[in-house]
């Protein structure tokens, strides 16, 4: 009996270790976003680069509903790395509304790129500003994501109640585009790096519009909720969008489980912010061109992982 117990304990140790390492290779997962979005493209690129260039590490990118699902996965250990936003990660870590508890098991690995708010619709819908969404059917983002919280903020600042003044549905990025084409929805929420692949593709076959803030309401939102940054979608970002679009957004960052080994995180961060790593990400998605080492430690909505902090101090971007 004692021998069986010892054998079982040894097997548990072996299989527990195998979950992290297989044949000497550390297995990691990175939780990204829905297909067609900036998180999905950048996260997939990061996973590929890490697997190819960091000896003994294999990283797999997995789709998700977005920031909220990524935060949850990090909290319960279902993901090793996740792409999140500055505003949501700060609120989640502190347990501020709308989060009902503190999601404080994640640590920052550095700022990546900006995400632009860009709800979109077909031009023929006649929708120009958020005020025009009253009585419409709108996809507020993928199930399990956090886009709807941002969208609701933008709608409410216009004096509309998203739960009463419009019909809200939840669809992933590709599903929302298909639903727009078939007339099942009138508009779709998006916040992503630009240009966003799904919107670019739609603009090639349909005339599109980006839903705008009515005059004065963007300024009102930024004053009331400083987590939102005033941003501009340049004219020409999408076919048919010939003027600058004034919007708001947030910065994206990558975060990890707090219990990942310091040396492992150090190697991950050092590799991705190397000149070769940044050049690679710039080829994966246009937003990758905006990822800069000098910006990586500029904001810290959540504490940095010690491994990331070590690299940023060595690189001179964190004092």
Break the chain into its structural domains and give their ranges. Answer: 24-114+251-315, 117-250
Asked if residue 271 has pLDDT above 90, the reply is yes
Whether domain 117-250 has CATH 3.40.50.150: the reply is: no
Distance CA 289, CA 279 (A): 8
Distance CA 188, CA 292 (A): 30
Q: Sign of torsion, CA 4 5 8 10?
A: negative
Contact 108, 305 (CB under 8 A): yes
Tokens representing 130 are: 């958020």
pLDDT at 3: 40
Full-prediction pTM beyond 0.85? no
pLDDT digits (tens, 9 = 90+) for 274-299: 999 999 999 998 889 889 999 899 88
CA gap 48, 40 in Å, rounded = 12
Contacts of 61 (CB under 8 A, 6+ apart): 29, 30, 32, 40, 43, 44, 46, 47, 48
Residue 5: pLDDT above 50?
no
Q: Please determine whether the domains at 24-114+251-315 and 117-250 fall in the same fold group of CATH.
A: yes
CATH architecture observed for domain 24-114+251-315: 3-Layer(aba) Sandwich (3.40)
What are the pLDDT digits (tens) for 83-131? 999 888 989 999 988 899 999 999 999 999 888 999 999 999 999 999 9
**∠274-279-284 over CA atoms, to 5°?**
125
| Residue 34 CB coordination number (10 Å) | 26
Q: How confident is the model at residue 24 (pLDDT cuts 50, 70, 90)?
A: confident
pLDDT tens per residue, range 179-236: 999 999 999 999 988 889 899 999 999 999 999 999 999 999 989 987 788 899 999 9
């Amino acid at each position: 009996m004692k021998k069986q117990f010892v054998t079982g304990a040894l097997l548990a140790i072996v299989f527990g270790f195998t979950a992290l390492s297989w044949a000497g290779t550390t297995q990691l997962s990175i939780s990204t976003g829905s297909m067609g979005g900036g998180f999905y493209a950048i996260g997939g690129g990061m996973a590929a680069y890490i697997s190819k260039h960091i000896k003994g590490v294999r990283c797999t990118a997995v789709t998700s509903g977005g920031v909220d699902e990524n935060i949850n996965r990090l909290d319960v250990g279902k993901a090793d790395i996740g792409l999140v936003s500055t505003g949501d990660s700060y609120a989640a870590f502190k347990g501020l509304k709308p989060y009902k508890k503190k999601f404080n098991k994640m640590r920052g690995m550095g700022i990546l790129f900006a995400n632009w708010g860009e709800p979109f619709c077909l031009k023929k819908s006649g929708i120009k500003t958020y005020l025009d969404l009253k009585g419409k059917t709108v996809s507020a983002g993928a199930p399990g994501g956090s886009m709807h919280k941002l969208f609701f903020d933008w709608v409410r600042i216009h004096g509309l109640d998203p739960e009463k003044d419009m019909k809200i549905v939840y669809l992933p990025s590709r599903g929302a585009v298909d639903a727009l084409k078939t007339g099942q929805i009138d508009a779709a929420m998006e916040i992503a790096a630009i240009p966003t692949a799904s919107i670019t593709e739609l603009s090639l076959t349909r005339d599109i519009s980006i839903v705008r803030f009515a005059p004065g309401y963007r300024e009102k939102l930024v004053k009331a909720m400083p987590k939102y940054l005033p941003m501009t979608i340049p004219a020409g970002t999408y076919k048919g969008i010939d003027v600058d679009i004034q919007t708001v957004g947030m910065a994206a960052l990558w975060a990890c489980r707090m219990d990942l080994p310091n040396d492992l995180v150090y190697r991950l961060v050092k590799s991705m912010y190397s000149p070769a790593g940044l050049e690679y990400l710039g080829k994966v998605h246009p937003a990758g061109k905006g990822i800069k080492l000098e910006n990586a430690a500029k904001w810290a909505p959540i504490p940095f992982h010690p491994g990331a902090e070590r690299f940023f101090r060595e690189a001179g971007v964190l004092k």
